Amino acid sequence: MKKRWLGIRLAAGICAALGWWGLLYPELALTPDTVSIQTETQDGSLRKQQTEWTFDGGLYQALLNAAPGSIRLRSRLLTDFALFWEAL
């Protein structure tokens, strides 16, 4: 049982360490491959914007100054885990 908790703590520590680098160096975490800019239409569906963006284009500042509730975070890992959990 101790080994299991040690493994869980180790995995949590690694995830926290990797997340910390995203705070220190956001240009490494916010790339066109990891960020999808979408707008919500009047009927509630999401539409992906076709514009190309770069980190120097002000995306980070726009995210920092965004109004509460205007940013929705989604994780493919958590979505896949939720699907896996439902399948059990």
Please answer whether residues 59 and 35 qualify as being in contact, where contact means their C-beta atoms are separated by less than 8 angstroms.
yes
Q: Is the pLDDT of residue 32 over 80?
A: no
CA angle at 77 for the pair 72 and 78, rounded to the nearest 5°: 60
Q: Which domain holds residue 46?
A: 31-88
Confirm whether pTM is higher than 0.75: no
Do residues 13 and 56 share a domain? no
Please tell me whether residues 11 and 51 are part of one structural domain: no
Residues 53 and 65 in one domain: yes
pLDDT at 68: 85
Number of domains in the chain: 2
Sequence-distant (6+) residues with CB within 8 A of 60 are: 26, 27, 30
Give me the percent of the chain exceeding a pLDDT of 90.
0
Mean pLDDT of the chain, nearest integer: 77
